[in-house]
Amino acid sequence: MARLPLLALSTILISASLLNLALSKTLKRDVKALNEIKASLGWRVVYAWVGDDPCGDGDLPPWSGVTCSTQGDYRVVTELEVYAVSIVGPFPTAVTNLLDLTRLDLHNNKLTGPIPPQIGRLKRLKILNLRWNKLQDAIPPEIGELRSLTHLYLSFNNFKGEIPREFSNLPELRYLYLQENRLIGRIPPELGTLQNLRHLDVGNNHLVGTIRELIRIEGCFPALRNLYLNNNYLTGGIPAQLANLSNLEILYLSYNKMSGVIPSGLARIPKLTYLYLDHNQFTGRIPDAFYKHPFLKEMYIEGNAFRPGVNPIGFHKVLEVSDIEFIV
């Protein structure tokens, strides 16, 4: 038997896959949910959503921002991305009926009200991006039921209440963005049990407590690279045990009410690159080891009570790490 060239075989397989997707019917549950969402979102998205089937029907393509895949004899919606189109109104609860979603991205809109607790139904969700909206009330603890979640973006909203301890039930979580809200209380130390957490940003809230409380669990935050605690009401000093977070690259403590001396052991964090201590109540001097650190590019110290002669490190500019680079 003659063998087909590899390129021809690949073309046949891709064509067969596309044909299978075209011939499959979209699950009625998903069609109903998307049409309910369509009815609630307004003209800015409706004009791009043509036809009755969100996964495409005949000559019509899938709706803009909707990604589908085939499961058995049916097509299901696996991704929904409707962002930066000025959607106005409450969070569309019908989204929580799209049980096969792996990505939900509604960022940079004008959504209001709470996230419904039914969000916990989306068990396959890996990326939840709701940043830059006007969402309110408490963050639902049901998000802690999304055990496949790797990226959680809730920043730049109006969330109140405490950070749910249930987030510690997310074993795959890598990036957690909660900055620029109205969150209160203490940062749950249980977050330290997340073995894959690389980036934690809770800056610009109304959080209290100490770093010692945050890292009290032995072996906590083993993968953490970036820790943003800035612009809160944290007190106490920097505990020497913070040096156990050996993967830290960015430590952002600016604009809190922290005090005490800077432990020399902190300079033993091997890849520490940016250290923000400014606008607290720190005293004493900066240990010489910081000035000999091979990776430390910037150290902010202004707005404290350090001894005369203590110098900053590097060129001072506001550090802004875009969360775009973390989206996969």
Candidate CATH numbers 3.90.1150.10, 3.80.10.10, 3.20.20.100, 2.40.50.140; the one for domain 79-300: 3.80.10.10
Single-letter amino acid code for the residue at 295: F
Please choose, from the candidates 244, 231, 249, 254, the residue with its C-alpha nearest in 3D space to the C-alpha of residue 303.
254
State residue 43's pLDDT score: 65
Q: How far apart are CA 40 and CA 94, in angstroms?
A: 9
Rg (CA), the chain: 24
Q: In the chain, what percentage of residues exceed pLDDT 70?
A: 88
Rounded Cα gap, residues 254 and 237, in angstroms: 13
Query: Which one has a higher pLDDT value, 41 or 60?
Result: 60
Identify the band that residue 315 occupies on the pLDDT scale cut at 50, 70 and 90. low
What mean pLDDT is reported for the chain?
A: 90
**The predicted structure's pLDDT at residue 275:** 98
Q: pLDDT per residue over 3-44, tens digit each?
A: 444 444 344 333 444 444 445 799 999 999 999 999 888 766
DSSP 99-128: TT-SEEE--SSEEEEPPPGGGGG-TT--EE
Q: What percent of the chain has pLDDT over 90?
A: 79
Range from 57-66, 291-300, 315-324 carrying the lowest mean pLDDT: 315-324
Indicate the DSSP class of residue 271.
T
Q: Which residues lie below 8 Å from residue 72, measured CB to CB, with a gap of 6+?
A: none
- Starting at the earlier edge strand, list the strands of the sheet with 88-90: 88-90, 110-113, 134-138, 158-160
Residue 323 is predicted with a pLDDT of 46
Each residue of 213-237: pLDDT tens digit? 999 999 999 999 999 999 999 999 9
Q: What is the pLDDT of residue 297?
A: 96
Q: What are the sequence ranges of the domains in the chain?
A: 79-300
> Do the bridges between strand 110-113 and strand 184-186 make them parallel or antiparallel, or are there none, so unpaired?
unpaired
309 vs 77: which has the higher pLDDT = 77
Query: Cα(203)–Cα(181) distance, rounded to whole angstroms?
Result: 9
Distance CA 119, CA 205 (A): 24
SS3 196: coil
| pLDDT computed for residue 316 by the predictor | 57
Q: Which two tokens stand for residue 72?
A: 């058995």
* 48 alpha carbon, distance to own chain's centre: 28
Residue type, 286: I
pLDDT for 222 equals 98
- As a whole number, mean pLDDT of residues 249-263 equals 98
Q: For residue 201, what are the contacts with CB-CB under 8 A and spacing of at least 6? A: 155, 176, 177, 178, 179, 226, 228
Residue type, 173: L
pLDDT in tens, 270-288: 999 999 999 999 999 999 9
Reported as type and span, the H/E element at residue 95 is: none
Task: Round to whole Å and give the CA distance between 241 and 218.
Answer: 10
Using one digit for the tens of pLDDT, what is the confidence trace for 165-184? Answer: 999 999 999 999 999 999 99
115 vs 326 pLDDT, higher one: 115
Token pair belonging to 138? 């408490």
Residue 325, phi then psi, degrees to nearest 5:
-70, -15
First and final CA of the chain: distance in angstroms?
43
Please tell me the predicted confidence (pLDDT) of residue 170: 98
Q: In this predicted structure, what is the pLDDT of residue 326? A: 44
